[in-house]
């Protein structure tokens, strides 16, 4: 199925949203829970899988939904259509602080591989599937397991990243080592594997995990500075524990420091 040609505008800095302009009969599919707002006249429809084919049968739809379960996503996606004359707009928001990245699949030979929770929305006709790792080490220690998402087609898709995004263009044979959680996605020609950090001190005391992700060109790689798992881990580490006492934000005065700086909640 040919993907719909959509226009878009990304707004914001730390908490971004993407506004997509739909011509009559154009549509966009989005991850459940990412919807923000839409103009009057746009029809919303909940679908199995990604709805990338017009003539999918029931069993094909079930298969598509089953693939989404393997990536940890919802059984359903949401499609938005402009059924009226004239242009209409619909917006989707990033789920946590970071950047929304437009991916033109035609520029990447019709395929882009990304981490399981990176996809936000895409033009109707783009296929959102799964990519299995063929390497045991990558599957066991690569952070994303055996399964990643793949976006296929000839339209535009949007993925989101935590913190700041960096795009790297790798030449043939060029190697980039990355924390496994910091990968957003990469083009299909990039060779992705994991590599042991090495050294007893690095392994035991380094605090960076046991493995790097090894990305070898040629191809394009997108990296994020703050994976959601890292953000959530630090929030949990700072949460009150044992009777509601907090860490005093690093102050040696603890709760007394809170009284002095104006935080007088009890």
Q: Which two tokens stand for residue 95?
A: 């789920």
Give the integer Cα–Cα distance in Å for 82 and 142. Answer: 41
Q: How far is CA 34 from CA 2, 38, 48, 59, 175, in A?
A: 24, 12, 16, 26, 34
Q: How far is CA 107 from CA 92, 112, 146, 188, in A?
A: 23, 10, 26, 12
Specify the pLDDT at position 228.
76
Specify the pLDDT at position 235.
77
Q: Would you give the DSSP letter of residue 54?
A: T
Give the integer Cα–Cα distance in Å for 110 and 56. Answer: 21
Residues paired with residue 14 on neighbouring β-strands, in sequence order:
none
Give the integer Cα–Cα distance in Å for 95 and 205. Answer: 33
Specify the pLDDT at position 145.
46
Residues near 111 by beta carbon (within 8 Å), at least 6 away in sequence:
105, 150, 151, 152, 187, 188
Q: Which two tokens stand for residue 265?
A: 């909640």
Per-residue pLDDT of the chain (266 residues; tens, 9 = 90+): 677 888 999 999 888 999 999 999 999 999 888 999 999 999 999 887 666 655 455 555 555 555 555 555 566 789 999 988 899 999 999 888 899 999 999 999 999 999 878 899 999 989 888 887 655 455 455 455 457 889 999 999 999 999 889 999 999 999 999 888 889 999 999 998 887 765 555 444 444 556 788 899 999 999 999 887 777 777 777 777 665 555 554 544 555 455 444 444 44
Burial 227-254 (b: 16+ CB within 10 A, else e): bbebeeeeeeeeeeeeeeeeeeeeeeee
Residues paired with residue 44 on neighbouring β-strands, in sequence order:
80
The 10 Å Cβ neighbour count of residue 5 is: 12
Residue 45 backbone phi and psi in degrees, to 5: -140, 130
Please compute, for residue 124, the number of CA atoms within 13 A of its CA located in the half-sphere on the CB side. 19
Residue 24 backbone phi and psi in degrees, to 5: -55, 135
Give the integer Cα–Cα distance in Å for 159 and 149. Answer: 11
Contact call for residues 187 and 219 (beta carbons, < 8 A):
yes
Please compute, for residue 118, the number of CA atoms within 13 A of its CA located in the half-sphere on the CB side. 36
Specify the pLDDT at position 20.
96
Specify the pLDDT at position 262.
46
Specify the pLDDT at position 266.
44
């Amino acid at each position: 199925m040919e993907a719909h040609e959509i226009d878009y505008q990304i707004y914001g800095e730390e908490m971004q949203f993407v506004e997509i302009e739909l011509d009559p009969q154009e549509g966009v599919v989005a991850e459940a829970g990412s919807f923000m707002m839409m103009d009057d006249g746009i029809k919303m429809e909940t679908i199995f899988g990604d709805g990338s084919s017009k003539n999918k049968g029931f069993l094909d739809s079930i298969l598509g939904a089953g693939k989404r379960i393997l990536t940890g996503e919802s059984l359903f996606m949401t499609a938005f259509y402009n059924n009226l004359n004239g242009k209409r707009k619909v917006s989707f928001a990033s789920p946590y602080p970071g950047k929304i990245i437009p991916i033109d699949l035609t520029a990447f030979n019709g395929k882009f591989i990304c981490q399981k929770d990176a996809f936000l929305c895409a033009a109707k006709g783009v296929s959102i599937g799964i990519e299995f790792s063929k390497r045991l080490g990558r599957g066991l220690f690569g952070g994303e397991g055996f399964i990643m998402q793949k976006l296929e087609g000839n339209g535009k898709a949007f993925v989101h990243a935590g913190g700041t995004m960096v795009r790297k263009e790798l030449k043939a044979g060029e190697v980039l080592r990355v924390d496994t959680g910091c990968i957003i996605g990469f083009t299909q020609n990039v060779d992705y594997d994991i590599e042991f950090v090495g050294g007893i001190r690095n392994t035991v005391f380094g605090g960076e995990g046991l493995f790097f992700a090894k990305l070898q060109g040629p191809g394009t790689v997108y990296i994020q500075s703050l994976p959601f798992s890292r953000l959530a881990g630090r929030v949990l580490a700072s949460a009150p524990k044992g009777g509601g006492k907090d860490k005093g934000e690093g102050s040696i005065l603890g709760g007394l420091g809170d009284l002095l700086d104006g935080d007088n909640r009890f």
